[in-house]
Amino acid sequence: MSHKLESVKNLLVFLGKSLLSILEALLFHVISKPRKNVAGEIVLITGAGSGLGRLLALQFARLGSVLVLWDVNKETNEETHQLARDAGATRVHAYTCDCSRREEVYRVADQVKKEVGDVSILINNAGIVTGRKFLDCPDDLMEKSFDVNFKAHLWMYKAFLPAMIANNHGHLVCISSSAGLVGVNSLSDYCASKFAALGFAESMFIETLAEKQRGIKTTIVCPFFIKTGMFEGCTTKCPTLLPILDPEYAVRKIVDAILQEQLYLYMPKFLYFMMFLKSFLPVKTGILIADYLGVFHVMDGFTGQKKKS
């Protein structure tokens, strides 16, 4: 009898907490969730030398954060360093690092800890794209995609998560992609690496919860194509539903999600609806929708990032 009462009690507590969580979510759709202060926080951004990484650095510079900029390209990273200074950052540190190389990540991470301090916001942003059909993509490029887009996240977490746990304070940010939610023609290696990055970040979120490390937050970002040059030549058949995103808009949304400690951010919002449909529609219906939206041909005109001469 006591076992049954305990089961009923647990069920009622579960239902009550579930209802409260839903009401809280609905409330924050009407009233903006409070934004945390990141002034003085040490923010490390990988791939800071250009594109999204550079714009994220400038946004955090305006918020008074201490910036740690990592990029494989020293010249462009130094440019971001100067731009961040111009944007108002008082403490900016630039490091040249190839995040795909584990030992290099650990070496530069030790340097950061000695010279700057414990990183409290880690933004895994660095990424590359081959944009080739599976059988046309050389093995070494596929391996590089995984090394940069996914495996680098493992080494970054290994390097910086222990201090966050010790301080019970930190924020882990994964820049994944809409290609980490659904498969895309001519992006097989990229999709696989972004699915892996998302799965890893989600698993680590669950691990921190299970370990009761409440001070460590996670944000997982899945945007459609952004006009940074990385997906140059790509098109969209339905710009109303699936627009190619303006970089400034995307960065504002990402930073806002971090400040509000939002777990998932999909851009545009239509992606939330797409994932809902994917969860229950017949496969044939899903394929018809993908064909209607032009998803099979978004990469047809792909030329990729233009390198500086």
Note the pLDDT of residue 309: 40
Question: Is residue 190 flagged as an active site residue?
Answer: yes
| 106 contacts 162 by C-beta, under 8 angstroms | no
Determine the Cα–Cα distance for residues 242 and 2; give it in Å rounded to an integer. 55
Note the pLDDT of residue 102: 97
Note the pLDDT of residue 33: 81
| 226 contacts 250 by C-beta, under 8 angstroms | yes
Express each pLDDT in 132-162 by its tens digit. Answer: 999 999 999 999 999 999 999 999 999 999 9
The first and second tokens of residue 29, run together, are 């759709």
Find the catalytic residue in 95, 157, 190, 266.
190
Note the pLDDT of residue 124: 98
For the chain, residues with pLDDT lower than 70 are 1, 29, 306-309
Note the pLDDT of residue 1: 61
| Helix, strand or coil, per DSSP, at residue 141 | helix
What percentage of the chain carries pLDDT values higher than 70?
Answer: 97
The first and second tokens of residue 217, run together, are 């937050």
The first and second tokens of residue 290, run together, are 């993908």
| Helix, strand or coil, per DSSP, at residue 42 | strand
Note the pLDDT of residue 192: 97
Note the pLDDT of residue 18: 85
| Helix, strand or coil, per DSSP, at residue 221 | strand
| 53 contacts 47 by C-beta, under 8 angstroms | yes
